[in-house]
Amino acid sequence: MWVPALLVVAALSGAAEAYFITVDAHAEECFFDKVEAGTKMGLMFEIAEGGFLDIDVKIVGPDGRVIYQGERETSGKYTFAAHVTGVYTYCFSNQMSTMTPKVVLFNMDIGEAPKEASEDTDAHHNKLDDMIRELSSTLTGVKHEQEYMQVRDRIHRSINESTNSRVVMWSFFEALVLVAMTLGQVLYLKRFFEVRRVV
């Protein structure tokens, strides 16, 4: 029995939100977004903690068509345009893990639905709107890159700290072995010469 744990970390502008989720062993977490045909969508994810930092990812369209599927991925970015109107599903599966939960950072960027061109709309106004939308999209992308780099930094720091603690423990163990061997040799030689003297 698994209980989905969803912690909202940060809310970004527009329809893009970043989430940290915990996917338990033998579990799958799915999320849904209803969009219009032609809308641009982009999924970005990164495994922050757990096991070998890998997870299975799948994006399925409203018609059941698998848009993207990846196995044992540590991070990824996938952008696509909605081919039909309906509910799109993206799932993170930890079925391959026997007992280790995985912490996943992800966000799904959903662009604006394409608008039908109106005859009385000013061309200059449309161009300005397009530029504003492009600027907004670029800023959102920069925010996502910053989040992505923060998670990568946290992962690498965790690996470095783990390696450092292992090196310290190994050095401590080596020192203990050397001291024990030195004491053992001293005691052995002492006993050896004591026995020789008696004879």
Residue 15, domain member (yes or no) = yes
Q: What is the CATH number of the domain that holds 60?
A: 2.60.120.680
Cβ atoms 103, 21 nearer than 8 A: yes
Q: How many CB atoms lie within 10 A of CB 22?
A: 20
Residue 77, domain member (yes or no) = yes
The mean pLDDT values, 10 residues at a time, for the chain of 199 residues are 33 54 92 90 86 90 92 88 92 89 87 64 72 82 79 81 91 94 90 63
Residue 29, domain member (yes or no) = yes
Total structural domains in the chain? 1
Three-state secondary structure call for residue 30 = strand
Question: Tell me, what's the pLDDT at 5?
Answer: 34
Q: Which residues pair with 121 in a beta bridge?
A: none
Question: Tell me, what's the pLDDT at 67?
Answer: 93
Burial of 71 (0-12, 13-18, 19+ CB in 10 A): exposed
- The answer for residues whose C-beta is within 8 angstroms of residue 126's C-beta and 6 or more apart is 117
Residue 159, domain member (yes or no) = no
Question: Tell me, what's the pLDDT at 128?
Answer: 82
- The answer for residues whose C-beta is within 8 angstroms of residue 158's C-beta and 6 or more apart is 49
Residue 173, domain member (yes or no) = no
Residue 188, domain member (yes or no) = no
Three-state secondary structure call for residue 76 = strand
- The answer for residues whose C-beta is within 8 angstroms of residue 66's C-beta and 6 or more apart is 58, 59, 60
Question: Tell me, what's the pLDDT at 197?
Answer: 53
For the whole model, what pTM was predicted? 0.60
Structural domain harbouring 89: 5-117
Residue 105, domain member (yes or no) = yes
Chain-centre distance for alpha carbon 185: 52
Question: Tell me, what's the pLDDT at 12?
Answer: 33
Q: How far apart are CA 3 and CA 23, in angstroms?
A: 9
Residue 142, domain member (yes or no) = no
